[in-house]
Amino acid sequence: MSTAVDKRTTEPRLNVYHEVVVKQRPLVDVFALVKAEKENKGLQSGAVRGAVDMFFFHCVQQLEMLPAEFLDHVLAFFHAQLFTDAIEAAKLKGKQFVLGDTLNEATVAAAIKIYLARSDVAAAWQLIDVILTDVQGKLHFRTFSSLLLHECGGNDNFPLAYGKWQELKNQKEMEWTPTMEDVLVQMVVACVKQHHRDGKTSTDDSTFHERMTTLLRDIRLASKEISEENANLLRTCFQDAGYCTRLVGSDLEMLPVCTACGGHLVKEPITPEETTKLLRAIESRAIKIKSGITAKEFLLPFRQWLLGKNGATSKQSRDSEQLHYILDGPNIAYINQNFDAGSFRFDHLDVVAEQLMAQGHRVSITMPFGYLAEKSMLRIRTRVAKEQMKNGQFIMRKRSKEEKALIDKWTKAGMIYSCRTDYLSDDYFWIYASILLGKNARVVTNDQGRDHVYALLNHHTTGQKAKKKNAQDSPTTVVEEPISMDLIERWKDQVIVNIQIRHQDQAMANAKTHAIETNGSRQYLPHIPIEEVHLIHPLPFSRVPQLTPQGEFHFPIADTENGATRWLCVTSKHQTKQ
């Protein structure tokens, strides 16, 4: 047996946090330890990269207290022994340098902040230029956001910051997150100030219009709405630049036009190319159990039923003014049923379908095949039901004569599709239908699972990630660009119709009953009548920052606490509605 001992398990690791925080050692002393650690073990070690990260983090924390000469030594170490060394080492191997392999992004972000503290903005931009040309892979916004903020703030160098930001977006994969909002709003402020300094107060200038359109789109990708604080910041900025600003109280006051300026908001479209991409994302999924079969083959009968037997074609559906409503069967049937006497309510679906057809619309219902059987499992989420299922006691419901009559009616009318859910989630069917039928499709559901839909569209099978092209897999597995959360949000904003159902008093004497069985024991529970159904349709415009062709700016203000839907409206004074 070998007695050799792995040196990595015996050599002590440098704990920078312990040295700085616990032992209170000066960073000058810790710097020597970090350099020695890097020299002895190299940046291939994750522990060494972590120590370097932590050291640079504490340098940023103590920027105001550290001598300029020491900071210059730290930057020289970063440039010569960390950044340049890592790039050259990658080149020697015939590869491009990837952040995270031998140098972490956190260290780069800290170095940029130290460059700014030393007023060496040029060096910070040179670092960005090298990243653009010699560094591969994703770059997080937080790595360089301090530089954008510096240039747009006290340095008054917006054109350079804007140009570099466009380069970074075009050349690097960008992950859009709400944390980007504050910096992007500061870029909007800088753009307005720059325009005002040029002696202009309207949006006649094409360069200003183009830049603002781009920045508003960036905010939409990052956060859609702006915070109250940022709304106040923008309001002050625009007013100082000679614009008129007004707060609009709700979305309703934007219909059909903005009550403050008369501007017309638009709905962000889904392009034909994006529609094709969404369809391909669903059709290329590998299905559960049966390997080598894609969802496209499995969904073909549903597609034919939807476009054929149901009396629709893709072109007819897209060109017609008639809307085609897809009812998410289980979601609607279980509304308000999470109580011990709850049930699976086919009558919910019937009321909604009849209401929509009376308005002249077409209706289709997607329903997992198990719910159409004479007996089906009842899935209500009460404490009692969960305990019963935990103990292996499954609650079965028996279909009533009235429910059988409804199913027969829908089947005869070609309205209901029995979804095979043993191979594919039933959610795929209504998502697929909404994309297939185009702009006139609507889906009635309270499923708010944006992340759930993202997972469905970006995974080949539940719980599996797409493999690389060279990985061993079935021939049908293809790696494509992921469906963005922005595209999913726009799809959701176009098709999803939420629903509210109010029931009569549970204690009504004339309430019908439904039968359930728990391990063979049958009991009859009240079937509480429906009192009212209310459908909440998507807005005819997108609740995102917008710039109209006439030059009116509109910013939606986030207010999750109170549920308000206010807007900030900005116009030049001669455009303001009287």
At 235-292, the pLDDT tens digits run: 999 999 999 999 999 999 999 999 999 999 999 999 999 999 999 999 988 776 666 7
Q: Which residue has the tokens 């959610």?
A: 427
Across the chain, what does the average pLDDT equal?
85
Weakest mean pLDDT among 161-165, 185-189, 482-486: 482-486
Q: Which residue has the tokens 């900030």?
A: 568
For residue 397, the model assigns a pLDDT of 80
For residue 173, the model assigns a pLDDT of 84
Residue 477 pLDDT class (50, 70, 90 cuts): very low
**441-444 and 496-503 as β-strands: parallel, antiparallel, unpaired?**
parallel
Cβ(432)–Cβ(441) under 8 Å?
A: no
Cβ(328)–Cβ(433) under 8 Å?
A: no
For residue 471, the model assigns a pLDDT of 40
The C-alpha atoms of residue 218 and residue 180 are separated, in whole angstroms, by 9
User: Cα 562 to the chain's mean position, in Å?
Assistant: 22
User: Cα 360 to the chain's mean position, in Å?
Assistant: 34
pTM, two decimal places:
0.84
For residue 153, the model assigns a pLDDT of 84
- 323-379 per-position pLDDT tens digit: 999 999 999 999 988 776 678 899 999 999 999 999 999 999 999 999 998 888 777
The C-alpha atoms of residue 177 and residue 174 are separated, in whole angstroms, by 9
Counting residues of the chain whose pLDDT is more than 90, the rounded percentage is 59
Cβ(76)–Cβ(120) under 8 Å?
A: no
Residues forming beta bridges with residue 301, ordered by sequence position: none
| Angle (nearest 5°) at CA 213 between 258 and 153 | 110
Tokens of 229: 């604080």
For residue 460, the model assigns a pLDDT of 47
For residue 473, the model assigns a pLDDT of 43
Residues whose CB is less than 8 angstroms from the CB of residue 61 and which lie 6 or more positions away in sequence, other chains included: none
Residue 437, pLDDT above cutoff 60: yes
- 1-21 per-position pLDDT tens digit: 444 444 444 568 899 999 999
Residue 451, pLDDT above cutoff 70: no
Residue 94's CB is within 10 A of a number of other CB atoms, namely 6
Residue 517 pLDDT class (50, 70, 90 cuts): low
From residue 439, alpha-carbon distances to 102, 319, 497 in Å are: 48, 9, 13
The C-alpha atoms of residue 398 and residue 282 are separated, in whole angstroms, by 34
H helical segments located in 62-176: 68-77, 84-92, 105-117, 121-134, 141-152, 158-171
Residues forming beta bridges with residue 243, ordered by sequence position: 572
Residues 217-227 have a mean pLDDT of 96
Residues whose CB is less than 8 angstroms from the CB of residue 524 and which lie 6 or more positions away in sequence, other chains included: 513, 514, 515
Residue 137 pLDDT class (50, 70, 90 cuts): confident
Residues 434-451 have a mean pLDDT of 87
Residue 456, pLDDT above cutoff 90: no
Cβ(467)–Cβ(519) under 8 Å?
A: no
